[in-house]
Amino acid sequence: MEQGFLVIVAIGIASLFGLWVIFYFIPVGLWFSALLSGVRVSLLQLVFMRWRKVPPSVIVTAMINATKAGLSISRDELEAHYLAGGRVKLVVNALISADKANIPLNFKAATAIDLAGRDVFEAVQMSVNPKVINTPPIAAVAKDGIQLIAKARVTVRANIRQLVGGAGEETILARVGEGVVSSIGSSDSHKSVLENPDSISKVVLSKGLDSGTAFEILSIDIADIDVGKNIGAQLQMDQAFADKNIAQAKAEERRAMAVANEQEMKAKAQEAKAKVIEAEAEIPRAIAESFRSGNLGLMDYYKFQNIQADTRMRESIAEPSKPKQSPKNLDNPAQK
């Protein structure tokens, strides 16, 4: 009895496993759902999808959604897109949304956008509901030297035809920032910009900044604008400080040259004094030689000595007298 019961249990388990395998490779329920939705797909094709490692539920569900929305998409196209690494569900949803919004989008363009790495469903939604991009603070300087800091809001919608190969949001932000800087920089006064901030929007919008991008710019609005630093005055102060440093350097150079010239003159004066001393040293020799040769007598020598003494006396009289210093009081510690 026990052996018969075990055999029955084994047969039941094998039967259940066999049924699971059959229904896994032959998804009858999925085929029946497709049949009721008006999608023509055979059981054999569903089995082949399993062998090709394509989930039948993904393909059949996408075909049912497309058929109910009135779109005609073949099974082979969906399978090929899935095998290429595409997102079948997003592509079908994007095609349905585009068809309901009267946006021209075919299956080939949608799959190309999807395979390019962009979210085609989000792009269709952005075409219907435009997106607002807030720029970071943009600093620019007017011609009067006053800095202005502006923030802009850019309203864009997706350009379906430019999604493949078109530039993204970063390019839009960079171009808008460049346009704001150019517009403020060309203004004669910061006051005119503060009075009419819409002039920035008009100038920037007229430049065609969305060329070559995946977006179409609808409007550019200046959300906020503040007054920053006085860049012109700061530059003038920096220039004046630099000029002062240059003037000080040149003055120091002239002072150094004057000091060097003074030292050179002192050296020349010492050299001249040395020559005078050297010449004076020759006088006793000349006098001795005159004595020996008989050209100078004793009375002449005495007269020469008297003349020198008179000269020294006159020089001492001509010199100003120096005040005599009183001797220090040794008892006063302040004078020690």
Return the pLDDT at 15: 57
Q: How many domains does the chain have?
A: 2
Last-in-domain residue among 182, 199, 233: 233
Residues 145 and 196 placed together within one structural domain of the fold = yes
Residues 113 and 221 placed together within one structural domain of the fold = no
What are the pLDDT digits (tens) for 67-96? 888 888 888 888 888 888 888 888 888 888
Return the pLDDT at 50: 76
Residues 93 and 158 placed together within one structural domain of the fold = no
In a domain, 249, yes or no: no
Residues 21 and 121 placed together within one structural domain of the fold = yes
Residues 177 and 93 placed together within one structural domain of the fold = no
Last-in-domain residue among 128, 162, 186: 128
**Does the pLDDT value for residue 1 go beyond 80?**
no
The mean per-residue pLDDT over the stretch 323-329 comes to 55
Residues 108 and 215 placed together within one structural domain of the fold = no
Residues 16 and 97 placed together within one structural domain of the fold = yes
The mean per-residue pLDDT over the stretch 283-302 comes to 75
Please, what is the average pLDDT of the chain?
Answer: 79
Q: How many CA atoms lie within 13 A of 79 on its CB side?
A: 16
Return the pLDDT at 336: 43
In a domain, 83, yes or no: yes
The mean per-residue pLDDT over the stretch 322-333 comes to 54
Residues 124 and 13 placed together within one structural domain of the fold = yes
What are the pLDDT digits (tens) for 158-216? 888 777 777 888 888 888 888 888 888 888 888 888 888 888 888 887 888 878 888 88
Which comes out higher in pLDDT, residue 25 or 103?
103
Domain extent at residue 104 = 7-128
The mean per-residue pLDDT over the stretch 52-58 comes to 81
Q: What are the tokens at 274?
A: 């040395």
In a domain, 217, yes or no: yes
In a domain, 304, yes or no: no
In a domain, 48, yes or no: yes
Unique residue bearing structure tokens 């897109």: 81
Residues 199 and 138 placed together within one structural domain of the fold = yes
Residues 226 and 164 placed together within one structural domain of the fold = yes
Return the pLDDT at 249: 92
In a domain, 215, yes or no: yes
Last-in-domain residue among 128, 156, 184: 128
What are the pLDDT digits (tens) for 96-149? 888 888 888 888 888 888 888 888 888 888 888 888 889 889 888 888 888 888
What are the pLDDT digits (tens) for 225-277? 888 888 777 888 888 889 899 999 999 999 999 998 888 888 888 888 888 88
CATH for 214: 3.30.479.30
Return the pLDDT at 49: 78
Residues 124 and 59 placed together within one structural domain of the fold = yes
In a domain, 287, yes or no: no
Residues 83 and 14 placed together within one structural domain of the fold = yes
In a domain, 247, yes or no: no
